[in-house]
Structure 1
């Protein structure tokens, strides 16, 4: 039996482990913290291929400079001397053109179209969790503010996805949490959501029940490959296997850059919290202008937002939570924004061109899976399936070919 070591116990790493097991591979899962300890825990949990689009678009040229002087803006970049960060931002902004957006959207569409069926494969295969249908409610102050959102929807449809968006006569019909400041709302169907921590833990349970060894709270110091891939732990212990997968999210460069993966991966940190509501929240809510996503979660509403470009291990910044509160307060009612639960920050791995990094490094039989930006949850199962196929068969599915980590 062949053996594989998967470094990273988030959605991407565990999905890869599950699919390797489908091919009969003996798997060891390693993580420096624990299951869903990174950005897999507190995110919005949206399985929305229609919104799984390039992060950089032409609006970055107008919104970006404004965000630098607005303390409540969803985009936050600290003013500091950091040549690596400013180099990344320059490359990221360079992809904010219609042509670059179309190029990235064309690359994302094939895997977007496989995202939901990949979740069904996991739940049908014994992962004891759920996915739930929308509709998603998308709110604006008025119809003129919806132009950018509708342009993105048109772009997604143009590239081959099926998306149904319909204007609501009453914005509060499906989302009573929306205040009268929301003058126009739309429902977007065909999308789903999950409780991400529950799903990822259920996936870990399934992987372990199928025989995987779980080495949690066990940091890895180095990965190399000469005769066989070798993982060296911080303790000095080494393990060898037939293949190694590095799926460590925003921390990927620490292990992957020495192996020839030179595409910049920048932590784009997101924040979230949950709040009580006067009326039960049943449907996800999206406020595009505020860049805030809200999801029903265990009787509460999870509110998530912000893109903070800093280091992945920097301290939690309570000011970013307050910025989300300030942005959404005028547009919500019956929501206790001042009594927040489970305040959280997670580091999402963002690449300059908006495309993930999935495939083999320069080291034989050492692979990476990550760089999905905000889309690691929705694209994780499909990524894991296609990478496992690549590892076992040597065939690269066209859906992940554009994500070559050595590009």
Structure 2
């Protein structure tokens, strides 16, 4: 035994790169296994996709993006600058290569593989949140159904088909249709144009920024270190340790390193043999006051807009924009969300909006995340969850911590091996 391993053979120390929900969850569960952790981030806690998302903990809607209908929709969306899916005109060869790979995976066989790969994460994701909140994370999760709204029962058929396919693949989802008084009670913001709804039971929501900040506080209280302003430039495995080097030349080492850098994952993971590309599918959000209280999350599937109770108001989130993760916010995308949702919701004071935000969600072309060991000794990755990083972040951290501590790959991580 050497100074870098415990008596059980596992590592003593770990450095996690990325202070979002995935990185901090991994750090927390590594602490559960007796490993000392340091978390570093270029910008700070919840600085990326973890802050301004819709805040849904929604295993019932964690459906792979690469459904065949998305390809048809995407081709039409390329011609509509206001469409929820937005690909700006660009000469980025890497982006177009990624989109071609994504298109190749928009077939039922690939979708079913992704759906089955995601099932263990969806089945255990809420339990992982419960472990965090019972173990010291002070921001609660809130149980509430998600209500999907439609202008007609016919329009609801697309979502119902998706839910049936997930159920057929082994998922457990409880849902039912809503009309009339039930619909008005579940979604008082629904306008007169809404005549049908689908209610998904067993879902939850949180204030995502507050939760991730509380998770960072819990990591610190348990003896961990969380550092901002640490912009990693290189990952160097050396003997029994892994050293990170910043652009300024600062060094930090651990027995193992976890790369949980979201949409920036490929820059550091390529040296570990990770070849599956990750691109930024940027989402936008803002907060608006409402005339009546919002009882629970509302989904507008036809325009791809998610709405959530947020600090006494309504957080509105939407868009999948393929652009550089560091590009500035495009207010045309905010206006496109408002234009698409305005006639479907009532009592929403759109012109009083605050907290306009954009964040880069890490998307893979095959609809599956990248979680596990790389070819570089002691280097692991965790990312590529697309729109479901918040829902699946804690269970990802729990499973990866098990692999790191024991040296054995959990069965649930085999389909999402980053070297696939």
The TM-score normalised by the length of structure 1 is: 0.98
Q: 1:341 aligns with which of 350, 354, 363?
A: 354
Structure 1 equivalent of residue 9 of structure 2: none
Output one character per residue of 1:59-92: Cα deviation in whole Å (capped at 9) or x when no partner.
1232111111112210000122121111100111
Partners in 2 of 1:342 and 1:239 — Cα distance? 35
Aligned counterpart, 2:290: 277
Distance between the aligned counterparts of 2:211 and 2:387, measured in 1?
Answer: 17
2:149 to 120, 135, 139: 139
After superposition, what is the alpha-carbon deviation per residue over 1:369-397, rounded to whole angstroms, capped at 9, x for unaligned? 00101111000000000101100101111
Partner of 1:263: 276
Say whether 1:217 aligns with 2:219.
Answer: no
The alignment partner of 1:289 has SS state of helix
Aligned match for 2:319, one of 277, 292, 306: 306
Post-superposition Cα deviations, 1:205-229, rounded to whole Å, max 9, x if no partner, equal 0000111112112211111213121
Task: Quote the Cα distance in structure 2 between the aligned partners of 1:169 and 1:312.
Answer: 40
* Residue 179 (1) aligns with residue 186 (2): no
Contact 2:295/2:309 (8 A) holds in 1: yes
Q: Which runs of 4+ in 1 moved over 6 A?
A: none
- Alignment of 1:37 with 2:61, yes or no, is no
What residue ranges of structure 1 are gaps of 5+ in the alignment?
Answer: none
Matched, 1:194 2:196: no
1:5 has 2:18 as partner? no
User: Matched residues in 2 for 1:304 and 1:56: separation?
Assistant: 20
The alpha-carbon deviation at position 200 of structure 1 amounts to 0.4
User: Given the alignment, which residue of 70, 73, 82 partners 2:83?
Assistant: 73
Task: Return the match for 2:169 from 156, 159, 174.
Answer: 159
Deviation at 1:196, TM superposition (A): 0.3
- TM-superposed CA distance for 1:156, in Å, is 1.4
Q: Distance in 1 between matches of 2:91 and 2:204?
A: 41
* Aligned equivalent of 1:319, options 304, 322, 332: 332
Determine the C-alpha separation between the residues in 2 that align with 1:266 and 1:285.
Answer: 27
Provide the C-alpha distance between the structure 2 equivalents of 1:149 and 1:60, rounded to a whole number of angstroms.
Answer: 13
Q: Structure 2-normalised TM-score?
A: 0.95
Which stretch shows the higher mean deviation, 158-167 or 285-294? 158-167
Give RMSD over aligned pairs.
0.9
Aligned pair count reads 407
Contact 1:111 1:400 (8 Å CA) reproduced? no
Cα shift readout 1:257-277 (whole Å, capped 9, x = no counterpart): 122111100000000001000
Give the Å deviation of 1:343: 0.3
From 114, 119, 122, the counterpart of 2:124: 114
Distance 2:285 2:141 in 1: 20
Contact 1:224 1:259 in 2 (8 A): no
CA separation in 2, counterparts of 1:161 and 1:394?
29
SS of equivalent residue, structure 2 residue 411: coil
Q: Residue 372 of structure 2: SS of its match in structure 1?
A: strand
2:408 match? 395
Q: Is the 8 A contact 2:271 2:376 kept in 1?
A: no
Asked if 1:292 corresponds to 2:305, the answer is yes
- 1:100 — aligned with what? 110
